[in-house]
Chain A
Amino acid sequence: MKIVVMCGIGLGTSAILKVNAERALERLEIDASVLATDVAGVRAAAADAQVILTSSELVDAIGKTNADVIVINNYFDVDELVVKLDIALGS
Chain B
Amino acid sequence: MSLPHLPLDAITIGAHADDWPAAITAAGDALVRSGAATSAYTERMIGVIREFGAYIVIAPGLALAHARPGADVLTDGLCVVTLVEPVAFGHPHNDPVSVIVGLAVAGADDHLQFVAELANVFNDPTVIPALAGATNAEFVQSVFDRTAS
Docked-complex contact A16 and B55, CB < 8 angstroms: no
Contact of B55 among A13, A18, A19, A20 (CB under 8 A): A13
**Given A9-B48, A12-B64: A73 and B116 within 8 A (CB)?**
no
Interface size, A (range): 20 to 34
Chain A residues near B111 (CB, 8 Å)? Answer: 11-12, 15
Docked-complex contact B93 and A19, CB < 8 angstroms: no
Docked-complex contact B53 and A13, CB < 8 angstroms: no
B106 in the interface (beta carbon within 8 A): no
> In the assembly, what is the distance between CA of A57 and CA of B60, in Å?
14
Give the contacts of A46-67 with B (CB-CB under 8 A). Answer: 54-58, 61
Which of B2-10, B33-41, B118-126, B133-141 has 4 or more CB atoms under 8 Å from chain A? B118-126
A–B pairs, 26, beta carbons within 8 Å: A9-B66, A11-B66, A11-B68, A11-B105, A12-B66, A15-B112, A15-B115, A16-B118, A16-B122, A17-B58, A19-B119, A36-B112, A39-B52, A54-B55, A55-B55, A58-B52, A58-B53, A73-B93, A74-B59, A74-B93, A74-B94, A75-B58, A76-B58, A76-B59, A76-B122, A77-B125
